[in-house]
Structure 1
């Protein structure tokens, strides 16, 4: 027999929304199980039961925005720490990229609840995603995420062919073997890394293990979304038809 699961957890597993959003929708009576409204938090369902969202939940999701920032050095990805400001403070009208192709107009409500979908170290630059949409966060940083992240990494030191192979596969961090990566020379002092995971300071620590020192790190792509020409410190919206 199938074991019952919390409704909010099952909704997140199905990619309908995040668990936090699921609790919000349940409390508002926007969730049906096998056609019946379920509005009690903590309710459980069987895996085979059909879960649907009310049109009001779909409308709420449609109004949530995702922001792409070209993060400069000196900003942290999430909450302020050690006197450094979070990158979210950059999401103000004066920093909105004038060539934003999304067609979305800025509204004050777009700032509320923006959370980073992935880290970018304080001394790293490039593409950082902030989102109000739990579905986007789950896709990018969920336990089973396979979305690629691409980086240009400037390094100092010598790298043998065998150590380059190790960067591609064979290293471990925190007692766990790293997933296969794609690493190759971009030019004489810069490597291109493509990863599908994001351990804390992963690239810098990988480079240390093979005797390299990272002197610059820039994220240029997440999935299908490129950093492109967004100026440093500016941002744009993820467009309605764009997908990671």
Structure 2
């Protein structure tokens, strides 16, 4: 007897519905906070589109305490775990680096550092907007397999030995390749928005985030990246947030 193809694991369905991450779902199921069709859910159970999923208020309350932090990462910090003697960007999340212009009503507490993880990478030699979150829903939205959230970058480049006005000598057909036509790691890249901001700087808008993607894209067309700054993720802008400082994602802000 073949299994109904419409059935999926409960944790996956909860993540697809935007209720939580899969890991959170497993935790909630284990605590007895999830019911399917009125009955307590068992770990590993599969559900169909017609099944009714309910989540206990305790889970919602715990979720409401989780924070998402926006950091203006400087050069020299890695996005994730410490490596080669370089500090993780999360070490900057401390009271003395909290931006005075933060308009959210959150107050810093050490518990906010527990489980705080980067939702996407930003190279050690790049600066700009980095998202750190305790919320699995935010992480899934930004770095999930089906994520289509835009990331915008300002990229200062040189074309061979030309550092002053590379725009004048960079071939238009190569600019077209940056927009669509390049492959990395044996896979074609998704279409990108790439335009000149000024004679030395390109603006990139991507909906994917392969390792060192922009630098590697530029190498393929003969450009060298001199400086890279991420200024936007989805609808959230870096704005006036000073380098090395952080703020909370506000309650009304959405990626």
Aligned to 2:194: 183
Aligned to 2:22: 19
Structure 2 residue 212 is matched with structure 1 residue 210 = no
Unpaired runs of 5+ in structure 1? none
The 5 A counterparts of 1:118-137 are 118-137=120-139
Q: 3-state SS of the aligned residue for 1:68?
A: strand
1:87-135 deviation digits (Å, cap 9, x = unpaired): 0000001100011011211111111100100000000000000000000
Bigger drift between 46-55 and 116-125 goes to 46-55
The 5 A counterparts of 1:109-148 are 109-148=111-150
Structure 2 length-normalised TM: 0.93
CA drift of 1:67 comes to: 0.2
Distance in 2 (alpha carbons) for counterparts of 1:137 and 1:180: 23
Aligned to 2:164: none
Aligned to 2:233: 222
Structure 1 length-normalised TM: 0.97
Distance in 1 (alpha carbons) for counterparts of 2:178 and 2:66: 38
Distance in 2 (alpha carbons) for counterparts of 1:159 and 1:136: 38
CA drift of 1:154 comes to: 0.4
Aligned to 1:169: 180
Q: 3-state SS of the aligned residue for 1:185?
A: strand
Unpaired runs of 5+ in structure 2? 160-168
The 5 A counterparts of 1:4-153 are 4-38=7-41, 40-153=42-155
Aligned to 2:247: 236
Let me know the Cα RMSD of the aligned residues. 1.0
CA drift of 1:35 comes to: 2.0
